[in-house]
Structures are given as C-alpha cells and as structure tokens.
Amino acid sequence: MRLVMDLSAFFESRVCIVSGKGGVGKTTLSAVLAVMAASSGQQVLLVDVEGKSGLSNAFGANPLEYEAVTLSQGVFARNITAEQALLEFFQDHNLNWVSKRLQSMNLVDVIATAAPGIKDILVLGKVKQIERRGTYDLIIVDAPAAGHTLTFLNSAAGLIDAVRVGPVRTQARDVQEMLTDPSRTQVILTTLPEETPVNETVETAEALVDLKIKVGAVLVNGWYSPCPAATVDEIRAAAVTAGTVMPDEEAQALADASSFVNMRHRLQQTQLARLEDMLALPILQLPFLFTADLGRPGIDTLTKALETAITDFETEAPAVTLPSSDGKTA
C-alpha cells in the first residue's frame, strides 16, 4: 500500500470522525484539525456528540448549544445530542406531538433501549443532513470515547437488521451509505504512544476496516523529543569548558531530566514501532506540550506541528515516482 498525504488529501472527505480512548487528547486534536482546515480557507463545523465542554473550553468559549456558534475564523461548533436528534427526527416527520409526548412521559430512554443504536443513528443522521446541505466544507465529529466509537459507527448496520421498514430504516441506510463512502467520510484515530492506547487503536482500526469505513490517519499525541544523554561528570566538564559555575545538585538535575526524557522517548518509540508494524496508515506524531494548558495557544502550536508532520511525512513517504529532492529529513 502506498501512503500518500498532503494537506488537501487530509480533508478529502467532507465528514471527518475523530476517535480515541479517553485521555489521549481526542477533543484537542479535533480542534487542531479544525483550525488547520480553516487556515487553508475552509468553513469547518466541529460537532460534539456527548454534551461535553472540552471543545468550547479549548477555545475559551461558552458551552456549546444545538445552534452553531463561531469559535474562531472559519471554525463553527455545535452539539448534537441524541435526545435532541430523537425529538427533531419526530418533528421532521410531522410528528411533533409524539416527540412532545415522548419527552413529557420520559419515554426517550424506553425507545432508545427498545431500538439500540437509534440515538446514534439519529445523531449521525443529523450529521448527514448537514453534510448534504453543503454549508460547510468540512464537518469534524468529536466521536464518543473509543469503546463507544465502534458501537456508534456500527449503529446503522445494526438497525438495518433490526428495523425492517419505516423512516428509521431509511435513515440508517442513508447513514450507512455516507459512512462507507470514503469520498464522504473518514475516521482519524488519535492515540498516545503507550501500550494500552496503541492496542486499542489497532483494534479500532481493524474493526473499521471490517465495517468498510475509511481510516485516514493516526495522530500520535504527547510525543517527547529526546535530549542529548550526558552523565553528571560530562555535564560538569561541559560547565568548565563553558566557563560557568555549576552546583553539583544542578548537574545532577540536568542529568536526571535528560535521562528521564530519553527513557520516555525510548518507550514511546517502541510503541510507535508497534503501531507502524501493525497498521499500514499514515502515522503522525504531535509533541507533548510542556507549557500550554491547551487553550488557544496550545491548539495553534499543535496545528503548526501537524502541518509540519504532514509535510515531513510526504517527503519521507515511499513515493512511487519522485525521489525526495529537497533533501529534507525528519
């Protein structure tokens, strides 16, 4: 398989579903992808499906609503929760009174249990509606945490089996068409270079292949850059050469910090190698940010890092025709 990528290919599909285990930075990376696309002039909609506040926090904005708000130049965001989507679905079918009744009688849970996946399908159905309307160049969905991503994306197939007729089935079929068309939908997997998240990423990627859903790339977050290795004695010697006074405690701290970051870097490389072995996909690393609290400055730093990673990847990729001529290395 030839791995190709450039910035435009990254956003080839209009719907981009960002998936990852809790704690790997999925929401931050969704925001990074949105900012990156917007900076190339695209109109981007970020969709939150869990009613979480991470996306709006990242941009220092108020909690998201069902109506889209502007988060930054070219970046819009809204949430689409299952409850809202279910009620809207009945409304769209001129069954406003049913929708009110479901709500007033607390029957939404009963319905969602009776037809598992219906909530997911209605959320994805709403995404499909937005996609079809063409208001945005790119729709980035911050998907439910990893275990649930597969249930989420598999809901259409499940419901097509369970519900034989009617508007829900039609909706499920339309969603299934959108998800399995690589020109319309791709999944971006996010992970950390650690054993458990890597295992989960590989499992998710394989399951997505079975579901015939395109995986565009894997983003590896929290990458530590190595530091030159040096013993305390070497550091003391360097201090002498540089003509500086250095307390022993400081030389020790410099050596410890260097040895620690290199230890983590080695562990991360092992996990990256596992990913590369198991997945024939573009794998891009994003740096661990020491300084930022992941507000807007953090997003901007990561956006630049991702653009660089994509450019470097192209240079390094086993291109079929042109050998890399600009001499750039990783």
Partner 1 sequence: MSTAFVEIVENSTTLVCCGSGGVGKTTTAAVIAMAAARKGRNSVVVTIDPARRLAHALGLDTSDLGDDPRAIDPALWDPENKRVENGSMSAVMLNAKSTFDSLVEKYANNPAQVGRILDNTFYKNISAALSGTQEYMAMEKLYELHESGAYDLVVIDTPPSRNALDFLDAPNRMTKFLEGRAFRVLTAPARGGMRLVTRAARVFLRTTARVLGSEVLDDIVEFFGVFEGMYEGFHHRAAHVRDLLAHESTLFMLIASPRRDALEEAEFFAEQLREKNFPIAGAIVNRLHPHFTESLAQATRLRSETFTERANENEATTLLAELYANLASFQEVAQKERDHLVRLEELVSPGPVEKIPFLGEDVHDFSTLRLLEDTLFSKDTEADKIAAIPHAQ
Question: Which residues inside 104-123 make contact with partner 1, applying CB under 8 A?
Answer: 105-107, 109-118
Q: Answer positive or negative: Cα dihedral of 245, 247, 252, 258.
A: negative
Scan residues 284-313 and list those touching partner 1 (CB under 8 A).
290-291, 293-294
CA distances from 30 to 35, 59, 130 (A): 9, 12, 18
Stretch that binds partner 1, among 9-17, 36-44, 227-235, 304-312 (CB under 8 A): 227-235
Least gap, CB of 179 to partner 1 (angstroms):
20
Provide the token pair at 223: 């990458």
228 binds partner 1 (CB under 8 A): yes
Residue 8 neighbours by CB under 8 Å, 6+ apart:
40
Look at residue 142 and give its three-state secondary structure.
strand
Least gap, CB of 233 to partner 1 (angstroms):
13
Scan residues 150-189 and list those touching partner 1 (CB under 8 A).
162-169
Residues contacting partner 1: total by CB under 8 A: 72
Scan residues 197-216 and list those touching partner 1 (CB under 8 A).
199
263 binds partner 1 (CB under 8 A): yes
273 binds partner 1 (CB under 8 A): no
Beta-bridge mates of residue 16: 140, 186
DSSP letter (8 states) at residue 144: P
80 binds partner 1 (CB under 8 A): no
CA distances from 19 to 145, 149, 190, 307 (A): 7, 7, 6, 20
Among 68, 267, 278, 305, binds partner 1 (CB under 8 A): 267
d(CA 286, CA 294): 13
245 binds partner 1 (CB under 8 A): no
Least gap, CB of 163 to partner 1 (angstroms):
4
